[in-house]
A and B are shown apart, each in its own frame.
Chain A
Amino acid sequence: MAYRVLIVDDSPAMRAFVRRVIGLSGFDLAACFEASNGQEALELLRREWVDAILTDINMPCMDGEEFLRRLAADEVFRSIPAIVISTDATHHRKKRLLAIGARGYLSKPFLPEALRAELESTLGVPL
């Protein structure tokens, strides 16, 4: 099965890198969408279904925490697993984001294999 993934990050370089790394990792990708903040991501989700979301935290307009809260509050979007990709690897930040709805957490820097493993684990892809 191939998956549709949304990348949410205000850095165009980071979005391009994540898209590239997903491809390099061997993850089965059907389509990849991009948004530069939580607000853009919510608008895109009203038009496109995705299987998983990879989101940054520090973003203008609507940051990752608010985006996760909006996803959790939406009857449809709450079923889409969201994985946080952040430079903040501290325990208390991970705990807080997982508590408000993130299903996974990947701290930068990360290896391509780690991104694939996090996606597959979150999506329940059989080994």
Chain B
Amino acid sequence: MTQPDLDGPLRAAVDEVLETMFFVQGEGEAHPGRGPEELFTAQVEFEGSPPGTLGLRITREAARRMAADFLGEETWDLPESRTLDVVLEMANMFCGAVLSRVESETVFRLAPPTVTFAVGEVVEPSEGASIYDVQLSEGALQVALRTAGAGS
């Protein structure tokens, strides 16, 4: 599997998870982290053929809105820890959905998702990653998938 093969599956997987589990649709391309907005970021490492990492960055307000909708709660009543729980689960679902599309003949295993950086810290995605930027009604989301050996 070459890295460019992941662009289409990544987009399809992210769109499907957003629509099915979060009841939202992207509103075009966006670039979270290029402006002054605060971000939540998460990462999932996976073993497979090949292994790799999925990274997620989402603007704070978009994360709070999506977490509230996912849990059926109000944004004003939602502790930040619960928003982070949802962001971690979102990363897990994106990763599983894209790998199920591209690794159907092999066994893959996801490590538990982790928060990778503090809120507000901006990190550029690594070179060689497949990246999908999504504009949401209350912010932006970026999902980057990098497999071992890509971009090197």
A residues contacting B by CB (< 8 A) are 10-14, 16-17, 20, 58, 60, 86-93, 107-111
Q: A11-B89, A87-B95 are in contact. List 16 more A-B contacts (CB 8 A).
A: A11-B85, A11-B88, A13-B82, A13-B85, A13-B88, A14-B89, A20-B72, A87-B96, A88-B110, A89-B96, A90-B108, A92-B107, A107-B100, A108-B17, A109-B16, A110-B21
| Number of A-B residue pairs with CB-CB distance less than 8 Å in the complex they form | 70
Main secondary structure of the interface of B (DSSP, over half): helix
When the two chains form the complex, which single residue of B70, B104, B105, B112 contacts A60, counting CB atoms closer than 8 Å? B112
Interface bits B98-110 vs A (CB < 8 Å: 1, else 0):
0110011101111
Choose from B16, B89, B105 the contact partner of A13 (Cβ within 8 Å): B89
Does A86 lie within 8 Å of B96, measured CB to CB? yes
Question: What's the least CB distance linking B52 to chain A, in Å?
Answer: 15
Shortest C-beta distance, B66 to chain A (Å), equals: 11
Instruction: Say whether A93 contacts B20, CB under 8 Å.
Output: no
Are B20 and A111 in contact (CB-based, < 8 A)? yes
- A109 with B104, Cβ < 8 A, contacts A11-B89, A13-B85, A17-B21 known: no
Residue of A nearest to B19 (CB): A109
Contact: B93 with A109, CB < 8 Å? yes
**Are A13 and B67 neighbours in the complex by a CB distance under 8 Å?**
yes
A91 with B92: CB separation less than 8 A: no
With most chain B CB atoms within 10 A of its CB, the pick from A11, A17, A109 is: A109
Per-position 1/0 for B57-87, Cβ under 8 A of A: 0000000000100111000000000100110
Q: Which residues of B contact A86 (CB under 8 A)?
A: 96
A93 surroundings in chain B (CB, below 8 A): 107
A108 & B21 in contact (Cβ 8 Å cutoff): yes
In angstroms, Cα B104 to Cα A17, docked, is 27
**Distance of A88 Cα from B89 Cα, bound (Å):** 14
**Chain A CB within 8 A of B97 CB:** yes
Whether A90 pairs with B100 at a CB distance below 8 angstroms is yes
- Distance between Cα atoms of A11 and B104 in the complex (Å): 25
What are the 5 closest A-B residue pairs judged by CB atoms, nearest first?
A87-B96, A109-B20, A89-B100, A13-B85, A13-B86
- Interchain residue pairs with CB less than 8 A apart (20): A13-B67, A13-B71, A13-B89, A17-B70, A17-B89, A20-B71, A87-B100, A88-B96, A88-B100, A88-B108, A89-B96, A89-B100, A90-B103, A91-B104, A92-B105, A108-B21, A108-B93, A109-B16, A109-B17, A111-B20
